[in-house]
A and B are shown apart, each in its own frame.
Chain A
Amino acid sequence: MSELLPPPPAAAERQNRFVSDNLRRIFLQIYRIVGNIADAQDLTQEAFIKALQRQDQLKDEQKAANWLSRIATNTAIDFLRRHGRVAFCEMDVHTESEQHSPEELVLQSEHRNYLEDGLRLLTARERAALVLRDVEGCSAEEVARRLDCSKATVRSHIANARIKLRRYMARRKR
């Protein structure tokens, strides 16, 4: 019976560097699509495991980073397809920075709930398209590549997302 051998030191080091270099970026990318820290954590881990199991794809760092982003987007969208729309949940959040007063925390929480209610109106693909275009600044071509659809579909998702959010905010202002 063959024994499990650890990856060679150079490969292990490359893996660790790849994870460290991309972890925060991928976590944020997934969080923006799923809107939930616990799910974003699980899905980030899943995306990295999927990517690192294909070592041969990691030789070119730039290509590997793009490829990882694509895996992350697809993993998050698949998750939303399986679980319906974005599900925000309360979490014990331990902050690293300054402490807030109870009033500030209430206001922050209300503002967050307000934004989350608006984001709930978007479908998984609308949200993903909006994140990639308006938050990450990808071109429509790049978004289409990442979402594996046409540029026209991307434009439609982006327009729908902006319209839904604008209408939601207009309703709330009244």
Chain B
Amino acid sequence: MTKHPSEAVLALFAGGDLGSLRRWRVERHVASCAECRQEVSELSELRAAVPAMMEPPEISWTKLAVEMKANIRLGLEAGECVSAGRSDARGIFSMRALAVCGSLALLLAAFLLERPAPRIEPMTSEAAFLESSGSGIQSKTGDQSIMLLNTRARDARNVDYLASGNAMRARYVDSETGYVTINNVYAQ
């Protein structure tokens, strides 16, 4: 007699889940081995009993179906409300963002027209100087430097820098959310 197949192989054999060659080998073994035949027989019985094991208890299906259909409708309507609310909020937000940006642009234009052209070069103070770059504002003191990164600015071209006295300002608009971020760095 050939070697006994493993329990897993017999479990697969009982459900017809083996490839043809392996199935043929197991079939041959099972035909001559009472122990494995018994195991396969139990596994086959079990397999036949599984659907009944998985059946729900007797329930009032009609009532349950009506309830589920109503809840599905409600869920879909709620989903539509949420998505419509989101798109409305996005619309309002864009309008507001546009208005805020417009006002700021007007104020900035008036400010720029009223004052001499700002120096966008590195600014110095007694102890430190500030420098703007595409990625942020850098404060340098001797050999040491620290940089405030414009992490949300995806494009350096969207960043406006403004130097004023011992401070430097970076202003940028997040293209995804429309949020305006202003960083002020003061040199001391």
Asked whether B8 lies within 8 Å of A160 as measured between CB atoms, the reply is: yes
Number of A-B residue pairs having CB atoms within 8 Å of each other in the complex = 115
Q: How far is the CA of A32 from the CA of B55 in the complex (A)?
A: 7
Residues of B51-80 at the interface with A, using a CB-CB cut-off of 8 Å, are 51, 53-54, 56-65, 67-69, 71-72, 75-77, 79-80
Partner of A166, one of B42, B53, B68, B79: B42
The bracket for how many chain B residues form the interface is 35 or more
- A-chain residues with CB within 8 Å of residue B36 when the two chains form the complex: none
Does A31 make an interface contact (CB < 8 A)?
Answer: yes
Bound CA–CA A44/B65 (angstroms): 10
- Closest-by-CB residue of B relative to A36 is B56
For residue A76, give the distance in angstroms from its CB to the closest CB of chain B: 12
Interface of B is mostly: helix
> What is the chain A residue whose CB lies nearest that of B75?
A49
> Footprint of B on A, CB under 8 Å?
1-2, 4, 15-16, 19-20, 23-24, 27-28, 31-32, 35, 37, 40-41, 44-46, 48-49, 52-53, 91, 93-97, 108, 112, 115, 118-119, 130-131, 133-135, 140, 155-156, 158-160, 162-163, 165-166, 169-170
Interface residues of B (CB under 8 A from A): 7-9, 11-12, 14-15, 17, 42-43, 46-47, 50-51, 53-54, 56-65, 67-69, 71-72, 75-77, 79-81, 84, 87-88
